[in-house]
Every structure is written in structure tokens, then in C-alpha cells.
Amino acid sequence: MDIVLDTNILRNDLLLRSKDFEVLKDYLAKTDSSVILPKIIFDELAGLYKRTQRERGAQLTKAINHFNLTLVDETKHLQLIIPDENNESKIYLDFLIKKLNIKELNILPYKNEYLEEISKRAIERQKPTGENGQGFRDALIWLTIKNYCTTCHQKQIAFISHNENDFANDTKDDLHPSLHAECTSLGVKINFFKSIKNFIEQHSIKVDFLNEDWLYNNTNADTITEMVCDEINASKSSKMAWLIERETGNECNETYSAQDAEIIDFGEIFIYEMVDNSLIANFTVECCVKFDYEYYDTMEHWDGEFYKSINSDNHYLYISAYMSVTIKDNEVVDYDIEDFTAT
């Protein structure tokens, strides 16, 4: 599940040094998820960083001036060189993009068509514009991420913000009912969290259980190996015949059949949380596959002519298959195979 971080989440830890961000990055890696930033948040961060640099530069200048007043020898006065705030702001945004692996397409642009809707919400004091209709930026963020949810595969997103007053319900643990109703009408889900820690408590644990051991114990090996064999046989890949020929030294005539397979190992797992609370686990599975195949056997006839006859044999190859399973209530309810490669 992709995540939107509000400006107020980053304000107190601009360089992402807290343990919470380390756990968040781990979640993003495990679930192949991304940080999504509406352009207004991205621009706010640039302005926030400039103001922070300006304020702390002023504090440092004042401290140095006070220190210099204690020195008799003016040649020993400290000199302060303040870096250019525009350049430092650019460096900071580049750092943020790299640290959180934010792709260009995940910075969601402004849309002019939002203006009328934002004005309407402000006039009618509709969430999340605030009781006085002052929340232009909150409305813009809301419309941007709601639109994103309608276009993404999972139809949902996590929105982490300290702004509980304008986005949250009375208990501060979910969206305000009116905003929740907007999502329901579109068939999307925006999961509100008031802090990264709150998000981690509910979601990091949710995906931590799904590891290689869990797949071994909760998937049906016969189902997986049968699907692998069926996928190989349906493909009729000339590359597979070439691999058999390379491994055996026999001239395969491209007639082969995967007869049986054994799971050797599960590879890296990526987890997707769907809007119905089910999980999709994508992973590779390494299998040892037994092939029956035909090959040409060249024989010399008594008159010196060479003839080819067709013989058959079997051989084992290692295959990596790309699989996915659907999990509901910690139980696998569906299997799918996307592709395979020979290793």
C-alpha cells in the first residue's frame, strides 16, 4: 500500500533519522510500495526547509555575534558563511527523493479542475477545509490523493498526517465519516493515521508474518508444481528446448514435456494490501523440474550415409517461476502464475 506523508510528519525530522522512518522504509521494501507526494506537499517541504535554514542561520549569527563580543582581539572574531538557501533546498529535496525512493511519477501534480471543488468546500465549510473554510491546502491534498486512489491498482492508500482536526473522526483513529463516505462512493479507501508509529503498529506487523517459512507451511506444494509444469508445457518455448540441448548434449527436436517438479526454495516476497483487506503476495519459487524430451540420434548407415532417428530421454532443469497468492484471514484462497525462466 502506497503512503502519503503530510508536511507536518516530516517537519520534526527533516533528515529522517528516527527509527520510525527506518521501519517505514522496511515496510515499503517488503510490500513494493512507494511514498506518494502531492506537489503541494513537495513544494511546502522546499519552503519549510528554507525557513528552517533561515531561522537557524539567524540563531547562529546571533550566537556568534555574542561570542565575538567577548574577544579582545578582533582578528579572532568568528566569521559565519550561510549557504545559499535555494541551493540547499534543492539539495534537501534531492536527498528526500533518494532516501524515500520517490519516483518522478509519484509526485502528483496540481490540477486546475480542483479549484471549483475547493472553493465549494470552503464556502460550505466541508471537510477537510476546516470550520472557518481556511484549509485550501488540505482540500487540495485530499482531492489529489483521492484521485490517485481511483487510478492505482490497489484502490487505496495510507495517509499519515498530524492534522487530526480536519481529517480524522472523533476518536482520531480513522477518517472523518464524511470523507469516508466520499471514498466509499468511489470504491476506494484512504487509511488515515496520525503518526508513522501508529501506521507501523497496525501494518508492519500485518506483513511481517508473511515470509518464506509461512509460504512453505501454508501453500499447497502440489498446486504450485502442477501450475509450473502446466505453464512450461503451454509455452512451448524454443529456449527451453535449447537449454535441454545445452544441458544434455543431445540435439533436442523441440518436443518436450515437463512431467513433475519439486520446490527447492522461495525467493523474495512482495506484498500488496488490497482494498478488501486481502493480501497479494508476489514471489519467485525455485523448482527442480523433470522433463521428458525427444532428440535426434545420428547414425551412420552401412553405405556411408548418415541418418537421424528420434530417441527419448528425461532430464532435470532448475526453473524460477513467478507466482502470486491471494491471502484472506491468513489463509491462501487463490494461486496464479505469471511467467518462468530457466536458471
Which of these three, 207, 230, 249, is where a domain ends? 207
Q: Which of 127, 163, 193, 130 is nearest to 7 (CA)?
A: 163
For the chain, how many structural domains are there in total?
2
* Same domain as 167, residue 261: no
- pLDDT digit string, tens, across residues 172-196: 889 999 999 999 999 999 999 999 8
What is the per-residue burial (b if ≥16 Cβ within 10 Å, else e) of 87-104?
A: eebeebbeebbeebebee
Which of these three, 207, 241, 269, is where a domain ends? 207
* Same domain as 152, residue 25: yes
Q: What sign for the dihedral angle of Cα 99, 105, 109, 113?
A: negative
What is the per-residue burial (b if ≥16 Cβ within 10 Å, else e) of 255-270?
A: ebebebbebeebeebb
What is the per-residue burial (b if ≥16 Cβ within 10 Å, else e) of 199-235?
A: bbeebeebbeebeeebbeeebeeeebbebbbebbeee
Which of these three, 207, 237, 264, is where a domain ends? 207
Judge contact between 196 and 17, C-beta under 8 A.
Answer: no
Q: Which of 185, 226, 220 is nearest to 325 (CA)?
A: 220
* Same domain as 282, residue 151: no
For the chain, the average pLDDT equals 88
Who's near 130: CB < 8 A, 6+ residues apart?
Answer: 138, 165, 166
* Same domain as 173, residue 36: yes
* Same domain as 174, residue 269: no
- pLDDT digit string, tens, across residues 95-148: 999 999 999 999 999 998 998 898 888 888 888 887 765 688 999 999 999 999
Residues present in the chain in total: 343
Arithmetic mean of pLDDT, 20-36: 87
* Same domain as 71, residue 81: yes
Residue 252 structural domain: 209-342
Arithmetic mean of pLDDT, 7-15: 91
Numbers of helices and strands, H then E, in the chain: 12, 9
* Same domain as 233, residue 146: no
* Same domain as 242, residue 168: no
pLDDT at 300 over 70: no
* Same domain as 234, residue 193: no
* Same domain as 10, residue 94: yes
The pLDDT of residue 40 is 94
Q: How far apart are CA 288 and CA 103, in angstroms?
A: 37
* Same domain as 16, residue 71: yes
- pLDDT digit string, tens, across residues 146-163: 999 999 888 999 999 999
* Same domain as 145, residue 77: yes
